[in-house]
Amino acid sequence: MPECAPGSYEEIIKHDCDYFLDLCNEALALELTREDVKTVQRLGRRSATPRPVLIQLSSGTLKNHIMATTAALRRSDRFSHVGVSHEMTKLEREQCKQLSTEAKKLELQDGSGESVYQVRGQPGEMKIVRLRKRQ
């Protein structure tokens, strides 16, 4: 998400929350309100590149709806540059990277070209699944 001009903490949080709500309402077609957003926090120090934003929602169901509809972001002109991902610990990121490497090896070993191996699941519960290649 783009950073707003330096200002008070409340202005920055309001800007980030409004941007997130616009993203959900316009691009993802989800009707979210300010009450659905618990916290909004920029991660890291301000620099030339926009920092990631950590958003905590009031329920896990809302998060699951957002994660299920993130493919719609690619079709949006205004939000196509925004990426959405689960918050993961360092250990979970390493596990995901390791599983991704294993999936690539399995795909190369398969050789038939009919299957694709991908890492799926919630952080901490990820596994490699075999999917049919789309024709």
Q: Report domain extents, the chain.
A: 9-75, 90-132
> What number of other Cβ atoms are within 10 A of residue 8's Cβ?
8
State the pLDDT at residue 39: 93
Residue 97: pLDDT band with limits 50, 70, 90: very high
pTM of the model as a whole: 0.74
pLDDT greater than 70 at residue 135: no
- Amino acid letter, 5: A
User: Region 1-12: what's the mean pLDDT?
Assistant: 87
State the pLDDT at residue 123: 83
Instruction: List pLDDT tens digits, range 8-66.
Output: 889 999 999 999 999 999 999 999 999 999 999 998 898 888 899 999 999 988 988 99
SS3 44: coil
Q: By the 8 A CB rule, do 117 and 129 touch? A: yes
